[in-house]
Structure 1
Amino acid sequence: MEPVSPLKPAEPRDRKLSIHVVTWNVASAAPPVDLDSLLQLDSQDPNLDMYVIGLQEMSCGIMSLLSDTAFEDPWSSFFMDVLSPLSFIKGNKGGVNICLRLYGYYVSIINCHLPPHLANNDQRLEHFDWILEMQNFEEPDIPNILDHDLIVWFGDMNFRIEDFGLHFVREAVKSQSYSDLWEKDQLSIAKRCNTLLREFQEGPLLFPPTYKFDKNSNSYDTSEKKRKPAWTDRILWRLKRQPHTDSCTPRLPAPGFSLSLRSYVSHMMYTISDHKPVTGTFDLELKPLVSVPLITLKPEALWAVENAMLINYSLTQDFPSSPWDWIGLYKVGLRHINDYVSYVWVRDNQVSISDGLNQVYINMSDIPETEDQFLLCYYSNSLRSVVGISNPFKIHAFLEEDPLGEVQPQM
């Protein structure tokens, strides 16, 4: 092995992240009692780093809207009841498109619900193009959604099976002869003809069509309409391709950044909706473009007299700091960025700056001594995201009593 020169920093190690994507048209139903299978929590070692959960047709009645405003929608609440004890955090993003950076790479996540019905295939394709055209960004590196290194696009896309009649489709499904149906799947047909859509990949459809079922059953539609089964619920992805000056040479994905599909399945056990949920589990391997965290946080000591904790933090030279940045103190297992126990504005409570090291005090007067573990999060107003998280610690670990019974900080 070649020794590393002390004057040259070591190359950042490759990273492997496991991402679990869920799409489900819940047809206005309330959450079921158990979603462990959907979230792979019934596996002995799920080994997941990130959940991406997209729902369609959530209840939007007036009482639901009032409830969402005052509290939290029941689906989000249910998922976070399960996932927050496992250290997963729900961000404050809204809408159908979420953009984030992973180790310097740009990732876009799209949840969509396209027009229904067999005859509206042209409308679905128009909506696909419209979504791409309408997503513009202020970042110079990613002016368009297609400039992202990875796009994960999923949802109730509503593509249907053409030509074949109801009886043929149901018999093919019953005998698991899915390959007979793939050639007439509208999305598969569109991918063969549409140059842009062809750049999106999908796993093999080795599971039964996910629509339309009688609710509370595994029987396909027995109503008067008797809709044909179809793979309406899909998960696609696209890796950014590097341009070539030679037009004859195929474009390749960005070096050091690859995505592989571990599983692509439906979950027949869930019957609350006329759709079955679909999940895709991916392994994302990347060579970090950013090896140093934007913010590094470290709690130093709890000062009993001042009822405050000293926080040391450092930031990279190119970090876009703002007067509206803040640091929050949280209990481990937080559900949301707003679940802080206490917080401090980094500029208002700053006490010193030296050699890139910043110090602030955070108020601790209302926090009882507890065995709970805490952590610190730095929220960037410019990036609208958490950009630094400390290691977990216990509050009482910073205290010790002297022989006179006075509380002194541990040094």
Structure 2
Amino acid sequence: MTDSLTSNDAQSESTTTTEPTTIATEDKLAQKFRSVTLQDSKDGFSIENLRSTRLLQLFNPSNKLRYHDLLETDFLSEFQKTDIFPSKFTVKLISWNLCQVAPTTELAKMVKMSSPNGDYAELYILTFQETVSLRSFSHNGSVIDQWCGTVLRTLPAGYKVVHKSGLLGLTTIVLASNPLSAQISDVRVETVGLGYLSWYNKGCISVRFSLGKVGDSKLSGLPIQILNMHLVHGEEDSSANARAKNLQKIGNTFSLVNESAHLTPDSGIEAKDTIERTLDLSDIELQKISNESVSISGISEPPVGDGIVLLSGDLNFRISELGRDSILSYTNSKSFAELTRYDELSNMIGQKSVFQGFQEGVINFPPTFKLKGRSGEYDIKRKPAYTDRILYCGPQLTIKQLEYGSYPVYGSDHLPVCAEFEISTAFFHPQSLLDHRLQFKDYYQHVISSMRLLEIEPETIEIDCCSGFEQRVEFMFKNLCDESLTYKIAERNKGFFRQATFRIDKERSTIDRKSEKPVVFTATPAKIGKITASYSVTLSGFDALKTISITLNVKSVVGVDIDKLEEQQYQNIVDSFTFILSSKSTLGLTSHLLDIESFDSLSKLEQNILKQVTLDRVNFGKLAGANEIGNKASVAVLDAMYMWMKFLPDINIGTPRGRVLFSKLIDLIKFLGMDNEKAYEYFGFLFNDEYEILDYLESSVH
């Protein structure tokens, strides 16, 4: 063996390995992006006339958000003829059963392409087996990181690790040049254990990603899937069947990105398509779309199963019907084609019992297993075999194999194998893609910001209210769109432990399309002052936010010093006494007085009178009408005034207001026909004793 790649390419026999440079180079894809000349993209087009933007206007608000990616992709697809260009890039896949070999600079012998000028590939895929001992219970992330660092140091600047994953001894690493890495998206990883009781000492890692994908499936790019396998070992005939069963289990676990690829004839699951294919539109939306003659046919095309599958690993297939000496003889004479006649895997592929739809390059290199340490010699305990393999599946015009071989790098009991490919695909020019996305973003944000969803009237309420009484505040919520809306109300700037300022009727509810509903806030303020609360109103599924605010100017006459009453409040109290004194009789006037202890002791009418005394000008003319039959209004007014008097701090007859109201009180006692003892029973809370009342009743001046 030499230090160069041993392969089916005669040219590679004379290729020498040199240490890679660390000088940054512009890769071919970057050069392509720089050199490509784009046509004028939809020169003079009107954005409003494209299908995507017309549908954006016609969709209900929730579907404007739900189908953003679909509409954006449909918008970008308008520029396929002008802004998407064909391109080619190279891939190098290296697979190696490490047998726990530590990261080595020997990788420098492998990373360069086998072409005479020794270029680097744009995409590198490393699939390792036995990175750590198979007796371990998990993969070793630090070892994987060490391998990533070693690979990056062997490559020029401008590469990055786009994916790394481990499954016990299995490790998959994907590196790409910076321009190509920007084209990789939707990376998905799946694993399956193949050991005893599905243990992961044997198994498979599937890594799949999209290359050049834009938006959803309509511009789905090129799907690529990497299968890193370590199948069951063994030289017995039964072991080959066990390996076939391993493949069947893998095929029944993972879907493949190419419909023609099957690991075994009876394995395979339907490809999982996570993109929604059917637009879920309301009848109203469909009618609008029909009225505007907009076609939705083909707006979301399902992906075609013509991706690329790269399969590699320690598949553990052996050379059968040949003894060890015969295998060594063919190997020494480089009669590799003769060896492959007895290769289990080659024969099973020929019989179509495994790997249908896959291809493998011509094996023109020595068996890769089993070697003794760093000696380069085969272990006499085992028959040499081609256990380590690389196969691929993909459209003929998309993938072309350039090289297939192995490297004489020692330390493990396996030799590394590698394959080089050229892949043809198409990319959206990055700058053009950015420009068009900004175009759509601006238009989309304009449409979204101008959506009329929910109207709240009014948005601000400021009212006077009465302390001690429940106050209701009502907002009208109006749904302006053609679908139901679910709203949620939350108080802003509310401390975690602070009690809510208002009780809200239906903090979270739904409003039917084109309808309205009242939302009521209630509070029972306990003291005089200003109460302010602000609320955010959010809509489920939308970023839209509205703010409403309530300010209550809380007032009261109860418990307030006479001289601190507002002028209208004072006048209302004076007029209330006058109204009572003008009653035609005293019938029933004192029937409730001794039962009054709090606001709750008052009837609704009496509470309203007390509120009017506090906040408004009392309509005594209207109340007089209620006195036509009995003294209903006078009783109510007296009960309200009695409530006021019970909590009155004092009556200071040294002030004008005090003298007037005290005089009204004495007139009321006389009007009710009470003597001093009776008066003290009802109004004793305002006097020292019944003798004080007697003095005032007998005095002509009070």
TM-score by length of 1: 0.60
Equivalent residue, structure 2, for 1:127 = 246
Structure 2 match to 1:50: 123
User: In 2 relative to 1, CA 280–41 (structure 1 residues): closer, same or farther, beyond 3 Å?
Assistant: closer
| Residue 36 of structure 1: aligned partner | 108
Q: Which residue of 1 aligns with 2:425?
A: 286
Specify which of 206, 216, 222 is matched with residue 97 of structure 1: 206
Deviations 1:107-156 (A, max 9, x none): 111100111112200111111121121014642579xx994511000001
1:181 aligns with 2:378: no
After superposition, the C-alpha distances for 1:254-313 in whole angstroms (9 at most, x for unaligned) are: 8xx421111111101x1110101011010011245x56689749xxxxxxxxxxxxxxx9
Is the Cα–Cα contact under 8 Å of residues 32 and 272 in structure 1 kept in the other structure?
no
Distance across 2 between alignment mates of 1:212 and 1:316: 60
Given that 2:104 and 2:150 are in contact with CA atoms closer than 8 Å, whether structure 1 keeps it comes out as: no
2:387 match: 232
The partner residue of 1:77 within 140, 144, 149 is 149
**Per-residue deviation at 1:171?**
0.4
- The aligned counterpart of 1:275 is 414
- The reply on whether 1:266 has 2:406 as its aligned counterpart is yes
What amino acid is aligned across from residue 139 of structure 1 in structure 2?
Answer: D
Aligned position for 2:93: 21
Q: For 1:85-105, what per-residue CA distance to the aligned partner results, in whole angstroms no more than 9, with x for missing partners? A: 332323255551111112212
Tell me the residue number matched to 2:35.
none
CA contact (8 A) 1:294 1:316 kept: no
* Aligned counterpart, 1:407: none
- Secondary structure of the 1:85 match is coil
Other-structure match for 1:116: 233
Whether 1:88 aligns to 2:160 is yes
Q: What does residue 442 of structure 2 align with?
A: 354
Correspondences of 1:123-162 after superposition (within 5 Å): 123-136=242-255, 138-140=272-274, 147=305, 149-162=307-320
Partner of 2:84: 12
2:375 to 211, 217, 220: 217
Q: Distance in 2 between matches of 1:19 and 1:155?
A: 17
- The count of aligned residue pairs is 284
Give distance in 1, aligned partners of 2:437 and 2:304.
34
Select the residue among 152, 160, 170 that pairs with 2:328: 170
CA-to-aligned-CA distance 1:165-215 (integer Å, 9 cap, x gap): 111111010111112111110111110112552311000000111111101
CA contact (8 A) 2:361 2:404 kept: yes
Alpha-carbon separation, structure 1, partners of 2:402 and 2:231: 26
Deviation at 1:21, TM superposition (A): 0.2
Q: What is the rounded CA distance, in whole Å, between the counterparts of 2:311 and 2:275 in structure 1?
A: 21
Aligned counterpart in structure 2 of residue 107 of structure 1, from 224, 243, 250: 224
Letter paired with 1:135: F
3-state SS of the aligned residue for 2:240? Answer: helix
Deviation digits for residues 21-49 of structure 1, max 9, x if unmatched?
00000001112233211111797442411
Secondary structure at 1:14's aligned position in 2? strand
Where relative contact order (Cα < 8 A, 6+ residues apart) is larger, the structure is: 1
Cα 1:170–1:140 change in 2 (3 A) is same
Which amino acid in 2 is paired with 1:25?
N
How much has 1:106 moved relative to structure 2?
1.2
Q: How many angstroms does 1:57 deviate by?
A: 0.4
Q: Does the 8 Å CA contact 2:357/2:393 hold for their aligned counterparts? A: yes
Q: Could you say if the C-alpha distance between residues 72 and 315 of structure 1 is closer, same or farther in structure 2, counting changes exceeding 3 Å?
A: farther
Q: How far does residue 357 in structure 1 lie from its aligned partner after superposition?
A: 8.4
After TM superposition, give the deviation of residue 231 of structure 1 in Å: 0.8
Q: Distance in 1 between matches of 2:136 and 2:414?
A: 24
Task: Report which of the two has the higher share of helix.
Answer: 2
* SS of residue in 2 equivalent to 1:16: strand
What is the CA distance between 1:14 and its match in structure 2?
1.3
CA distance in 1: counterparts of 2:385 and 2:99, whole angstroms: 16
Q: Deviations over 1:234-261 (max 9, x none)?
A: 000012xxxxxxxxxxxxx48xx42111
- In structure 1, stretches of 5+ residues that fail to align are 240-252, 298-312, 318-352, 359-411
1:233 maps to amino acid: D
Q: Could you say what the CA RMSD is over the residues aligned between the two structures, in angstroms?
A: 3.6
Equivalent position SS for 1:36? helix
Distance 1:64-1:30 versus aligned 2 partners, 3 A rule = farther
One-letter amino acid of the counterpart of residue 354, structure 1: D
Letter paired with 1:101: S
Residues 331-364 of structure 1, C-alpha deviations (whole Å, 9 max, x = no match):
xxxxxxxxxxxxxxxxxxxxxx734689xxxxxx
- 1: distance between equivalents of 2:323 and 2:390? 26
Matches within 5 A, 1:287-306: 287-288=426-427, 296=434
Identify if the C-alpha distance between structure 1 residues 214 and 87 changes in structure 2 by more than 3 Å, giving closer, same or farther: same
Cα separation, partners in 2 of 1:209 and 1:60, compared to 1, 3 Å: closer
Distance 1:233 1:146, change over 3 A: farther
Cα distance in structure 2, aligned partners of 1:53 and 1:178: 25
Q: Which moved more, 1:213-222 or 1:94-103?
A: 94-103
* Equivalence map 1:364-403=2 (5 Å): none
Q: How does 1:306-345 map to 2 (within 5 A)?
A: 314=437
CA distance in 1, matches of 2:314, 2:304: 21
User: Compared with structure 1, are the counterparts of its residues 11 and 84 closer, same or farther at alpha carbon in structure 2 (3 Å cutoff)?
Assistant: closer
Distance 2:105 2:211 in 1: 33
Unaligned runs of 5+ in 2: 1-38, 46-78, 167-190, 192-204, 213-220, 256-270, 277-302, 447-702
> Any conservation in 1 of the 2:321–2:342 contact (CA below 8 Å)?
yes
